[in-house]
Amino acid sequence: MCGIIAAASNRNVGKLLVQGLHKMEYRGYDSAGIALHQNNQIAHLRTLGKVKLLEEKMISEKPKSKLGIAHTRWATHGEPSEENAHPHKSNERVYIVHNGIIENYLDLKEFLKKEGYSFSSQTDSELIAHMLEYFLAKGNSMLDSMYLTKEKLDGAYAIAAIDKEDDKNIIIARNKSPLLIGIGTDEFLAASDPLAIAQLTNEFIFLEDGDVAELSSEEFTIYDQSKNKVEREISQIDISNQATSKGEYKHFMEKEIYEQPDAILNTIDGRVGGDDVLDNIFGIGSSEIFEKVKRIQIVACGTSLHAGRVAANWFSAIAELPTQIDYASEYRYRNPHVDEDSLLVTISQSGETADTLAALRYAKEKDYLSTLTICNVPTSSLARESDYSIFTNAGPEIGVASTKAFTTQLAALMLLSLALAKSRGKNPKLRTRVITAMRSLSDTVNETLKLKDKILEIAPAIASKDNALFLGRGIFYPIAKEGALKLKEISYIHAEAYPAGELKHGPLALIDEEMPVIALAPESEIAEKLVSNLEEVKARGGTLYVFADPSITMDLKSGQVINMPKCDFLLTPIIYTIPLQILSYEVALLRGTDIDQPRNLAKSVTVE
């Protein structure tokens, strides 16, 4: 992963590059660095740790420059360290930043070593600097050197490079890793994400795979795979600064949890009308395609996969369609059989997750009826490469642990279930029932957020433990999994989730006073069975924390029951997610972890 940014301007660019890195820390934050052209020299600063440390170094060294590149890293090859931080350099001449993975790096390293280059890092990226220098030294231009280097590279990359001998131009290249150009005033910028430069421009050009571009403060030129000059579309995107600041909240995660009522409204807005879902909300022709669908294949990662697991229940209950779900990282490697008239659905907050993107590209070679993505970023690769899409409109999600992206994915997946059912002429009454419930969903989420005080009462007991078990049944099992994922991601407490009926087949052995058990008990046809499962925990001295429908009565020896607001059963997974998010947040706060940027993780995982 990692985030890259570059600027060629008529003004000093050091500060804006560092500000851009701050906005991209969600992509990685274990080290950072910058290379700036300064009086025919390159100021090269790198730090281990977060961008703040690089910023401090910049403040003390005060480099001045109108042209530079910068990077924030999430380690793949080589531990986080100053030596492994980007920019990497070759012969004090070429400096590069790279996001992605060079798969044939060992062969290329061998080749370069034989050519006399020595390596000062353990990264795969450093070889790009040497390879560019190798071709430059043979008399090629920087543009030609980039094309010659690209011919050698296998893998994914977004690269920005500068040459000490040229204080006017930056060369950038993209293959399978996001990269865009920003059109500023008297300056041109490049970055992995529009967020990084959104304060400087709202005009962006998203490069395509194989593209190379040359930027100066006055102009930019884009070349395609075959080195032909090309024009690419300019997208206007307004990303308000407000959306990327914490406001009154301590953490982005907290802000994003409390934004959910509005985010869900935004997902539903303009997509339902009367007592049904509107036609073609997934793109022109989608309603017609949906008539033909006989089977659904979902691929996603992390939290997005959990959303898919909930949706599989909805596709079955509302649209009467069978669904297969795969981890995106596994899907391609199981020789998936594609049934006739299958729809491939990818789910992704970022739209850039490498495994999900690779699964989509693989599926496009197979016999799918069509491909569709549920995504939060309209300009993302998944959105651009899928036949149909719906955007969750949740606004930027910065906290690494996904919250509003998840609940809005669920809302969008419910719209998909309804749209499929409508096109297939299934369950009109049920559709009306769900649409009515969706109209008040945002209010119910608001009501659920008020449970915070009750959750604060149980958070200390969980924060003091090293393990936790989450239980749910049916459509609530994926929510239990999501609860466990949230807790482990940000509080580093080991947490597992089980369908409650499976307790007796193993996990019951773990129950003692050191193992808090968090259970989801909505009103359902299997509520009684779930209560019996919870009795099994109680009988073995386990402490239960149960989020329950008020109709469910439980007499606990230790622990607590928290009553949940009422909601249509099919939408309750969204409601029951909320207290689990708040619980993880409050537990992590008590444990003093780095909530928005938990150790070893990153928000957008653009490596396979």
Residue 577 binds to ligand G6P (criterion: CB under 6 A): no
* CA dist list (Å): 433 to 42, 155, 166, 268: 65, 49, 65, 15
Contacts of residue 174, Cβ cutoff 8 Å, sequence gap at least 6: 157, 158, 159, 207, 208, 209, 210, 211, 212
Task: Name the residue among 98, 74, 80 with its Cα closest to residue 602.
Answer: 74
C-beta closer to ligand G6P: residue 349 or 533: 349
Query: Nearest approach, Cβ of 306 to ligand G6P (angstroms)?
Result: 8
Number of residues that bind ligand G6P (CB under 6 A): 15
How far is residue 352's CA from residue 374's CA, in Å, rounded to a whole number? 12
Contacts of residue 506, Cβ cutoff 8 Å, sequence gap at least 6: none
CA torsion, points 21, 25, 30, 31, in degrees to nearest 10?
A: 0
Query: Nearest approach, Cβ of 518 to ligand G6P (angstroms)?
Result: 20
Residue 605 binds to ligand G6P (criterion: CB under 6 A): yes
Contact mark string toward ligand G6P, 355..394, x via CB under 6 A: -x--------------------------------------
Taking CB atoms, the residue at the shortest distance from ligand G6P is 302
Residue 411 binds to ligand G6P (criterion: CB under 6 A): no
- Number of Cβ atoms within 10 Å of the Cβ of 29: 28
Neighbouring-strand partners of residue 213 = 172, 222
| One of 103, 527, 601, 608 touching ligand G6P (CB under 6 A) | 601
How far is residue 457's CA from residue 455's CA, in Å, rounded to a whole number? 5
Query: Nearest approach, Cβ of 377 to ligand G6P (angstroms)?
Result: 8
Task: Name the residue among 276, 585, 214 with its Cα closest to residue 431.
Answer: 276
Q: Is residue 152 annotated as a catalytic residue, yes or no?
A: no
Residue 400 binds to ligand G6P (criterion: CB under 6 A): yes
Residue 84 binds to ligand G6P (criterion: CB under 6 A): no
Query: Nearest approach, Cβ of 300 to ligand G6P (angstroms)?
Result: 6
| One of 260, 303, 427, 577 touching ligand G6P (CB under 6 A) | 303
Q: Is residue 2 annotated as a catalytic residue, yes or no?
A: yes
Q: For the chain, how many residues are written?
A: 608
Contact mark string toward ligand G6P, 329..358, x via CB under 6 A: -------------------xxx--x--x--
How far is residue 606's CA from residue 608's CA, in Å, rounded to a whole number? 7
| One of 9, 169, 260, 402 touching ligand G6P (CB under 6 A) | 402
Token match 């959750």: residue? 455
Instruction: Copy the structure tokens of residue 204.
Output: 């962006």
| One of 301, 412, 515, 587 touching ligand G6P (CB under 6 A) | 301
Instruction: Copy the structure tokens of residue 488.
Output: 């482990």
Residue 237 binds to ligand G6P (criterion: CB under 6 A): no
Catalytic residue among 2, 301, 375, 567: 2
Query: Nearest approach, Cβ of 349 to ligand G6P (angstroms)?
Result: 4
Footprint of ligand G6P (CB under 6 A): 301-304, 348-350, 353, 356, 400, 402, 601, 603-605
What residues act catalytically?
A: 2, 603
